[in-house]
Amino acid sequence: MSSTIKHPGEDIEDQVAEAASILGLDVSRETLAAVRVYVEQLLKWNKTYNLTAIRNQEDVLVNHIFDCMSVLKNIREKTGNNKFKLVDVGSGAGLPGVIIGLWFPESQVICIDSVEKKVSFIRHVTARMGCKNVSSKHARVELIPPLEADVVISRAFASLSLFTSLAGKHCKTDGRVASMKAAQVKEDLAELETSGSEWCLDELQDLKVPKMMAKRYLVWLQRKGNNG
């Protein structure tokens, strides 16, 4: 009977493997173990440092891990390969940057956040995970010199207009900006269109997040000169 009892970490790995299958993602035992380390460390740090509002394992898996996993295939399709430079703006606890870096070890991922304790967590957890292609910067994104990224991404960071005005400079000329969104996508796009921004819609993608009922979207933007 005791042989059927699972350690909590095994349950994390099982659930992540199931989500990966639903999303059509390949996942190795090493990746599953690394995600387990991330979840365990986030829950531990949250008790003291309040990194995220979500504090139980199941909700962390669905609302953070699975949500970030839902964009992985989209990023691969847009970049055309597994090797790219990506900047995660307002990264918080490293979401989605750490998850993207974990699935694309040949890529370079830079997580930027203005809150020092969140950057400290990213550095701590990526070291524990062995995720060497992810780095982090404690800074305001608008004050950093251009990073020439293929993709600049955000998750619940700001309106599209504000996001592109602050972080668009970090995208190389033919690169793209991507924003993970929940509600009010059309209103946000309408505001961007009337703002006089150099950025315009490239593609609006529906995201299917395992075990999540709420609608999620990935908004891809490109510079207006690149949409012809």
From 91, 90, 222, select the one nearest 163 (Cα to Cα).
Answer: 90
Residue 10 lies in a domain: no
Does the pLDDT at position 138 exceed 90?
A: yes
Q: What share of the chain is helix, strand, coil (3-state, %, to 5)?
A: 50, 20, 30
Arithmetic mean of pLDDT, 129-148: 97
45 found inside a domain: no
**Looking at the 3D structure of the chain, how many domains does it have?**
1
Higher pLDDT, 156 or 130: 130
Residue 33 resides in a domain: no
Looking at every residue in the chain, the average pLDDT score rounds to 93
**Tens digits of residue pLDDT in 5-43:** 455 567 999 999 999 999 999 999 999 999 999 999 999
Domain that holds residue 177: 67-226
Mention every residue, 6+ apart, whose C-beta is less than 8 A from residue 156. Answer: 90, 180, 181, 182
pLDDT digits (tens, 9 = 90+) for 174-218: 999 999 998 789 999 999 999 999 999 999 999 999 999 999 999
Domain-embedded: residue 44: no
The pLDDT, as a whole number, for residue 8 is 56
Residue 46 lies in a domain: no
Structure confidence by residue, pLDDT tens digits, 72-121: 999 999 999 889 999 999 999 999 999 999 999 999 999 999 999 999 99
Q: How far apart are CA 109 and CA 215, in angstroms?
A: 26
pLDDT grade, residue 68 (50/70/90)? very high
54 occurs within a structural domain: no
Tell me the mean pLDDT in the region 45-65. Answer: 94
| pTM of the predicted structure, to 2 decimals | 0.94
In a domain? residue 4: no
Q: What CATH number is associated with residue 101?
A: 3.40.50.150
Instruction: Say what the pLDDT of residue 217 is.
Output: 96
Q: What is the reported pLDDT for 184?
A: 82
